[in-house]
Amino acid sequence: MLKIDVSNENKRARAAIASGVAFLALVFCVRSIARTQDTFAPNGTIHYSVQPLIGPNELEVQVRFVGNSQGQSTFKLPSDSMGGHERWTYLSHFEGHGVRIMGSEKDKRILQYRPGAAVTIKYRVQSAYVESPTAEDLFAGAAILPHWLATLGEFIFIVPEHSESTPITFEWQPGPKHWNCLSNLDHPSADEPLTVASLLESSIIASPDLKVVDRSIFGGVLRMAAVGSWSVPIDHGADLVANIVSAQRAFWGDMTGPLTVTMVALGGSGQGSAGRGGYRGFVQYFSAATSPAQQIRVTAHEHIHTWIPGRLGEMPKGNDEAALYWFSEGFTEFYTQRTLLRSGIWSLNTFIDDLNDTLLAYAENPSNREPNNWTSARFWTDPAVQHIPYLRGNLFAYLLDNHLRQASGNAIGLDEVIFRMRDRWKIAPTDHRPGVLENLKASYHELLGSDDQLDALIESHITKGELIQLPTDMFGQCASVEPSVLPYEDVPQTVRSPAMDEQRRESCARTR
């Protein structure tokens, strides 16, 4: 998921270890990548390829598959998400071989063919921008410009209905001379093959100036590159990302393999940053005014999305998804703060400053007492409301962590519940994996038995939107939480750390 910050006053971005020696890993667009045998595809596998066409500032997408026994399939076109609308309007010039393409709905195409026939479809994708995207207009569609392109998979690919687990392959077709390309689909993980879901979560960038750098990370290799309206210091950025990724992989202890990070340098004069998690990697968006502290936070947030929510439970589909952003984004915020602190990337003082920023933003937000159904319905249309799931869910995670510690005599905290959710999700059949909320409640009760406080906390602070007040002693001797002056909810709580020696400070950082 993402977090957008376009405020010059905001101190940090919200969305969103040892390094190896850098070396170039340029992938020329004329080379095939992540390509399997392509004589006849195994029944059920769909082959996708992309070709940049820079003269008209377009992409050509080719889709190949073996038809089913019914002789008909329905494919969905890119549609509405993340505030972008009617992305199918950027698709045109549909051509088919061995297939008849029909469509009475704007965002769907019905494909008719002989049962078992080899089907090929080609179409073009136009740029949604005439110049570099800005933070205020970030997700309209693909950016295909004369000297670079950047897009998310969900902006350009047509996919069969109800097909997220369908296997796919991906390759680049020959593009403009000297152009280099990068996607997180290029080198799929052996233990996580490409599927339609991976395709929609992909990030694709290309440019004649593209420089790809590699870094060693915990359990694998990081590949990173950048495009956009200004020159990104990619070597320094890769060092930063490698440190964060390695620390978070070490915290979770269950992730190895390659990771791909793409960066898009935004246009415009304002300050803004955002991110979007995806298959084995993520994409970052930064304005030229983005500070190093903001880059750290966006990077950490987006990489936590490797686990939250996708490896903990299934999210609702469509517009209902926003109802659980308090978990998918708020708990991601919590673990962004926790892992940066425990890894030593953040000092205890930096952690406290960041948490105080959260408390201040929560107190000042005019929608901080609105119920969850009200805020989720307005998430993509009201910038102030958009912050609520991040803020509310973040503070709710602290509240829940404190309750778990108190109820278990410090034997159980939120980490144990989250790890239990991950383990339950792993062993569940792929077609019967639990929903996020279902898995949270089940994991909680497996660890705490009949304790029913989770339901009560969710009902009060999430469903009804009642104001969250952190307990004053929840950080023990490491910090105190000063209460706000009720009933004035716009006066925030404040976290303060007492004077302490370095040994005690390090102990606090490891245990919070």
pLDDT at 362: 95
Helix H or strand E segment including 199: helix 196-200
The alpha helices in 305-387, defined as continuous H runs, are 325-328, 330-342, 348-364, 372-377, 383-386
Question: What local confidence, expressed as pLDDT, does residue 507 receive?
Answer: 79
Element (H, E) at 395: helix 388-407
Q: What pLDDT is recorded for position 43?
A: 57
CA angle 72, 74, 77 (to 5 degrees): 150
Q: Do 224 and 263 contact (CB within 8 A), yes or no?
A: yes
Q: Determine the pLDDT at residue 490.
A: 65
| pLDDT at position 416 | 97
Q: Provide the β-strand partners of residue 222.
A: 215, 259
Q: What is the pTM of this model?
A: 0.84
What distances in angstroms separate CA 93 from CA 60, 62, 71, 154, 431, one per listed residue?
9, 12, 23, 19, 36
H helix intervals, 205-291: 234-252
Instruction: Count the neighbouring beta carbons within 10 Å of the beta carbon of residue 489.
Output: 17
| pLDDT mean values, one per 10 residues, the chain (512 residues) | 43 35 43 37 78 87 93 91 86 95 88 94 95 85 93 95 90 88 88 90 92 94 88 87 96 92 84 82 87 90 94 89 96 97 94 95 94 95 94 98 94 97 94 94 93 93 96 91 69 85 76 68
Helix (H, G, I), strand (E, B) or coil at 130: coil
Which pLDDT score is estimated for 31? 44
Closest by CA to 158, choosing from 120, 193, 130, is 120
Neighbours of 465 (CB within 10 A): 19
Cβ atoms of 484 and 493 within 8 Å: the answer is yes
Cα gap 159→76, rounded to integer Å: 5
pLDDT at res. 1: 54
Q: What is the pLDDT of residue 158?
A: 96
Q: How far is CA 44 from the centre of its chain?
A: 28
DSSP one-letter string for 70-114? TSEEEEEPP--BTTB--GGGGEEEEEEES-EEE-SSTTEEEEE--
Please report the pLDDT score of residue 30 as a whole number. 52
287 within 8 A of 271, measured Cβ to Cβ: yes
Q: Shortest CA distance to 113 belongs to which of 161, 75, 62, 170?
A: 75
- The answer to whether the Cα torsion of 441, 442, 448, 451 is positive or negative is positive
Q: b/e for 355-385, b at 16 or more Cβ within 10 A?
A: bbbbbbbbbebebbebebeebbebbbeeeeb
CB 462 within 8 A of CB 392: yes
